Amino acid sequence: MNRLRLKDSFRAFNDISPGIGAIANLKGKIVYQDTLGLASCEHRIPLQLDSVFNLASVSKPFTGMAILQLMERGELCAKDKLTRFIPELRHYAGEVTVCELAHHSAGLTDYNDLLWQKARQNALHSDNAEILSLLTQQEQLRFTPGSAFEYSNSNYVLLALIIERITGLSLRDYLKQYIFGVIGMENTTVFNEEQPVILNRAYGYEKCGENWKCNYTDTLATGSANVFSSLEDMKKWDDALYGNQLLGEEAKRALFAPGLDSSGKQLTEFWGGYSYGWMIQERCGAKTIWHTGGDAGFRSIIVRFYEQQFSVILLSNAASLDWPETYAFIERLYGEFR
């Protein structure tokens, strides 16, 4: 199964470094799996398939799924104004819609930039309430909603707040009840201001000179980040996206339809389109939806070649993961197993 080895493809990793793990999933069967390195350098705990990582921005597809579920149930519409649910922003964001948040075309400033403006180099305790407070203090959008694409983590924090205000559940509880619990993702949760104990947790690391520094978490924001999961559970998520347990076929089409600007032209960036937590792009001559994540010493990527029902999921607890090496590795897996 493992002719391609992680140790041969990723130069920064070894048996005593922070870790990296990958699986390839073909039509519900794991055709490749490998792990290398440590989940905890302090305790010399090897990384395994059930090690739990901070997914960083690979959390966004879960928020997008939750929004689509609420739409399918008739509890909100794509064209609903943000301020229907979050009136605190009516003084400057009254025309922003839910779909513009989901497509990163709302024009809202990224909360990371706002935290830096406050000289919060350590944003450990910033949560969604603080982020909403910072956004409330702003006076204008960066551009007319729907006129351009600009990736902003604030969009997905606001989507999380919308979910919470509609359902009366925290995002953590909503995802547990309507996504994680439904498909058996027993080792997956949202790491929010409750800071729950997480079994089999991997810790994130950054390289400082010749040494590694442990980086616990950058922020407690949810919706945009801080879903914690394992390779085993992410395989269950990937499988579920082909079925109708979480979302019907008609509603699911939104995942594959890139956002459009106000003139009907596709909103795009160098990676292609974007919709409800997924980047949309051709890779290796095939259609994909995918996302990367990077936060607090963690790096993550899921690439779904959905027409071939082939996916690669790679998780690392080292900020030094090399993205060109990662993309080349995924292309080799696609060439060998799809």
Instruction: Give residue-wise pLDDT tens across range 140-179.
Output: 999 999 999 999 999 999 999 999 999 999 999 999 999 9
Say whether pLDDT at 266 is over 90. Answer: no
Which has more pLDDT, 118 or 288? 288
> Both tokens of residue 94?
């009254």
Read off the pLDDT band of 123 (50, 70, 90).
low
Q: What is the pLDDT of residue 44?
A: 96
Please give the distance of CA 276 from its chain centroid, rounded to a whole number: 11
Which has more pLDDT, 276 or 114? 276
List, as own/partner pairs, every contact residues 209-216 make where C-beta atoms lie below 8 angstroms and the sequence separation is at least 24, other chains included: 212/17, 212/18, 212/41, 212/318, 213/297, 214/41, 214/42, 214/297, 215/296, 215/297, 215/319, 216/124, 216/296
Q: What is the pLDDT of residue 238?
A: 98
Instruction: Give residue-wise pLDDT tens across range 66-96.
Output: 999 999 999 999 999 999 999 999 999 999 9
User: If you average pLDDT over residues 219-229, what whole number do you get?
Assistant: 95
Instruction: Give residue-wise pLDDT tens across range 174-215.
Output: 999 999 999 999 999 999 988 899 999 999 999 988 889 898
Instruction: Give residue-wise pLDDT tens across range 31-63.
Output: 999 999 999 999 999 999 999 999 999 999 999
DSSP state of 107: -
Say whether pLDDT at 18 is over 60. Answer: yes
Rounded Cα–Cα distance for residues 300 and 291 (Å) = 8
Read off the pLDDT band of 138 (50, 70, 90).
very high
CA gyration radius, the chain: 19
Instruction: Give residue-wise pLDDT tens across range 242-257.
Output: 999 999 999 999 999 9
Q: What is the pLDDT of residue 93?
A: 98
Say whether pLDDT at 120 is over 60. Answer: no
The kind and range of the H/E element at 40 are strand 38-40
Q: What is the pLDDT of residue 37?
A: 98
Which has more pLDDT, 269 or 311? 311
Say whether pLDDT at 1 is over 60. Answer: no
DSSP state of 121: S
Rounded Cα–Cα distance for residues 18 and 312 (Å) = 20
User: If you average pLDDT over residues 131-139, what whole number do you get?
Assistant: 95
User: If you average pLDDT over residues 226-230, what whole number do you get?
Assistant: 98
Angle at 278 between CA 132 and CA 310, to 5 degrees: 150
Q: What is the pLDDT of residue 263?
A: 81
Predicted structure pTM score: 0.96
pLDDT over 70, % of the chain: 96
> Both tokens of residue 128?
């969604």
Rounded mean pLDDT of the chain? 94
189-190: strand order across its sheet: 53-54, 227-229, 189-190
Q: What is the pLDDT of residue 115?
A: 83
Say whether pLDDT at 3 is over 60. Answer: yes
Q: What is the pLDDT of residue 122?
A: 52
